[in-house]
Structure 1
């Protein structure tokens, strides 16, 4: 992979102590925190927009589908940009793209315009896609390969810290300052109240834009270790003898990411609407956002625990155990009522916690010089979140609670991947970080 101009000379090999990478991992943890925080603002934004624009569940989940469609279109261009300018510059570009999309939320709210909202969210998601393509494989290969899954789960735990705090932030600044967010679910808003509610999103997104620009400046000035020669894209002649499709762990990992995202996003997007129902918890949307923070908090706890467990137990076995637990709690959610249904849905956050980082690290294991391309395909598979619209359709047609059977089915594929699909075939030499990457 072509590095950026001004890259420093080689300073070490694959045996460098992990403590040397601690400053870079700390900075990257803040990056994971930031995009997790921004992504989950959507979970509180969706019920808000549903009341502003009088949307059905299908139309509401379509907003999130647009967000994930960005992963499909932006993943391969992101991988090519990383090849051309390097990891660090690509991360900076991704942050600035996200900042631009956040600023666009202001005119979207002032109009208000459903179409401009979709455009702004697509831009933000494109920036996050670039960060995902760059940062996930980078964290996996920056240290010893045998602890790649544990390392990625650790920084993803900070992503979950962002997702835990985001509902509280958005619940206070969006739902807490809006008529729709503080009223009972069946209250009909006047046109003036809808306009005022729409404008409540301006302040939080302006705050987000400022933070993104500051983080971009910090990363631009920080010397990140660069990935070594084995990560560079091989020449066309050498590449002819290598095929991504010979690697079972990648071939089955792509649909595993795709299917898992349907489960995670479906739960997160419909959570507030579900627990607000009279036969579940009978709370306002603002109050429900606090319970949503607990769901994401479970993901944070699970990722810290998963990072610890995977230093002693194989990632495949940990993934299998968590997927079985997720299936059980989703069955309880589907058939129970009252607090039991609500708390079982909250628990699925803990069960989902290690799934994305573990599937991702298992999917790129043994890809060697093909890691960059494999990473791009796995991140593209995040577009599976766009199919949350299917769960929205099921909720409209059969009822919100019954729609969670789709989530339960998704957990079974993750179990299949853990037990069989993640096995490595035709492994290539592992990647090694070797240099500091400067701006």
Structure 2
């Protein structure tokens, strides 16, 4: 297929919005957890079932996909990536619409079922949309397009806590925490997914067939770096999701900031905004730009630009149906700026070597978690938020190291790695159970163990041995 003479700008813009939407809807869970916890008077463990239902779907759908692939061939290659994307969008729309009956009947189990359907759609989008973003243009710029799309995915995760908090606590409620406040927002989200599915149907997208052979059996497991990489994905996703799930509760502790859920949702955007900034920086830092001086200047400029965007977005307020802009004093956020500088310097020191980047960034997250455990107030608060910036590029580095030099086993290994996203379902449950017994603060020991494993993988586990 000749992509050099075809203009795929419009389709790529559509795909970017797709990445944005699934990032947005995924992080809405972090707003849902404290909301439903209050409404249904749940324990931390019960509230963590939200992430269990959501990320459990990743495991189930990926497992089914893997089984079908090794026995009958790649399903997406048979139905086409365009139809796969539409299927994923329709499932997402249905999952969002199921929130209406869940809220009407006020049954927590129906909410969990709706989240499972929604996540099944997101899983299919993960499998289909990434290759589309890569093929919409010249092969030599595929990596750049994919990083750009993933950057907008992080932009969605940045906006979700703010918009979610405004819709749930301001627009569709009078400040009182009720389950009815979920009805209209999720109908709106569902409508957006259905509209996007219709747009995809009528937009020309290139056909793509995966011609790589898929090995039958499980011989890919003979590769040590693949097996250890599977556990790295498990602990990374589990650790990241678990931290995000309990941050609002952490912010609400009297010894930290004593914030209510609505205010905590706004600051959660700084956590995901840091991830957005780190991802855009990582796309440049690990890119092909030869001139280091220009690269470092560009990275500094991007960091400053996206911080200002984040600073403006979080200033948007809706109080008593009145729109206003209320900027945080810089005296309140100077620690976040310090952590962004540290993030920039970490990229400069780590360079382009994936294992080195993984080791340094996972190590910094461990330090930040230790600060959360040992200190109170603003230091612990902003240390928690800064974790997002250092989580930003861990997934891509783990994935790259885990599938290196696999040849014909690459497709099978990729399916297994995606399956290990199930860590996002299990680790939050473990932290939730620990929070019920030891308190929310000490429960962050759980993700600390996860990142210790990532340091091991960056130092030794990635090395290729059979």
Same fold (TM over 0.5): yes
Output the aligned Cα RMSD: 2.8
Tell me the alpha carbon deviations over residues 22-75 of structure 1, each in whole angstroms, 9 at most, x when there is no partner: 665543322211111001111111111011100011111122111111111111
Partner of 1:122: 116
Tell me the matched-pair count.
Answer: 395
* Residues 141, 356 of structure 1: alpha-carbon distance in 2 compared, 3 angstrom cutoff: farther
Equivalence map 1:358-437=2 (5 Å) = 358-387=397-426, 388-424=428-464
Partner of 2:196: 215
Q: TM-score, normalised by structure 1?
A: 0.82
Unpaired stretches in structure 1, ≥5 consecutive residues = 1-10, 183-192, 427-439
Partner of 1:65: 52
Instruction: Tell me how far 1:337 sits from its aligned partner.
Output: 0.3
Contact 1:140–1:149 (CA under 8 A) maintained in structure 2: yes
- SS of equivalent residue, structure 1 residue 403: helix
Tell me the alpha carbon deviations over residues 287-342 of structure 1, each in whole angstroms, 9 at most, x when there is no partner: 01110011000000000001111126123322222112111111111111011111
* Residues 216, 139 of structure 1: alpha-carbon distance in 2 compared, 3 angstrom cutoff: same
Q: How far apart, CA to CA, are the structure 1 residues paired with 2:86 and 2:169? A: 31
* Residues 251, 226 of structure 1: alpha-carbon distance in 2 compared, 3 angstrom cutoff: farther
**2:163 is the alignment partner of 1:169:** yes
Tell me the alpha carbon deviations over residues 128-164 of structure 1, each in whole angstroms, 9 at most, x when there is no partner: 1111122345556878999877654432221110010
Instruction: Tell me how far 1:411 sits from its aligned partner.
Output: 1.2
Q: Which of 100, 121, 128 is matched with 1:106 structurally? A: 100
- SS of equivalent residue, structure 1 residue 282: coil
Partner of 2:293: none
**2:273 is the alignment partner of 1:273:** no
Q: How far apart, CA to CA, are the structure 2 residues paired with 1:97 and 1:331? A: 40
Q: TM-score, normalised by structure 2?
A: 0.78
Deviates more, 1:170-179 or 1:257-266: 170-179
Partner of 1:205: 186
Equivalence map 1:131-146=2 (5 Å) = 131-136=125-130, 139=133
Contact 1:153–1:358 (CA under 8 A) maintained in structure 2: no
Q: How far apart, CA to CA, are the structure 2 residues paired with 1:241 and 1:78? A: 14
Contact 1:230–1:368 (CA under 8 A) maintained in structure 2: no
Q: How far apart, CA to CA, are the structure 1 residues paired with 2:203 and 2:462? A: 35
* Residues 144, 357 of structure 1: alpha-carbon distance in 2 compared, 3 angstrom cutoff: farther
Q: How far apart, CA to CA, are the structure 2 residues paired with 1:154 and 1:120? A: 30
Q: Which of 14, 21, 24 is matched with 1:37 structurally? A: 24
Deviates more, 1:31-40 or 1:318-327: 318-327
* Residues 65, 18 of structure 1: alpha-carbon distance in 2 compared, 3 angstrom cutoff: farther
Q: How far apart, CA to CA, are the structure 1 residues paired with 2:227 and 2:114? A: 32
**2:266 is the alignment partner of 1:295:** no
Q: How far apart, CA to CA, are the structure 2 residues paired with 1:292 and 1:165? A: 10
* Residues 268, 20 of structure 1: alpha-carbon distance in 2 compared, 3 angstrom cutoff: same
Contact 1:99–1:208 (CA under 8 A) maintained in structure 2: yes
Partner of 2:333: none
* Residues 416, 223 of structure 1: alpha-carbon distance in 2 compared, 3 angstrom cutoff: farther
Unpaired stretches in structure 2, ≥5 consecutive residues = 69-74, 289-351
* Residues 384, 240 of structure 1: alpha-carbon distance in 2 compared, 3 angstrom cutoff: closer
Tell me the alpha carbon deviations over residues 391-432 of structure 1, each in whole angstroms, 9 at most, x when there is no partner: 001111111111111112211212222233334569xxxxxx
* Residues 117, 359 of structure 1: alpha-carbon distance in 2 compared, 3 angstrom cutoff: same
- SS of equivalent residue, structure 1 residue 200: helix
Contact 2:4–2:138 (CA under 8 A) maintained in structure 1: no
Contact 2:80–2:208 (CA under 8 A) maintained in structure 1: no
If asked which structure has higher relative contact order (CA below 8 Å, sep 6+), I would say 1
Q: How far apart, CA to CA, are the structure 2 residues paired with 1:18 and 1:24? A: 15
- SS of equivalent residue, structure 1 residue 201: helix
Q: How far apart, CA to CA, are the structure 1 residues paired with 2:142 and 2:226? A: 16
Tell me the alpha carbon deviations over residues 234-265 of structure 1, each in whole angstroms, 9 at most, x when there is no partner: 5xxxx469932244443222111110112111
Q: How far apart, CA to CA, are the structure 1 residues paired with 2:203 and 2:403? A: 26
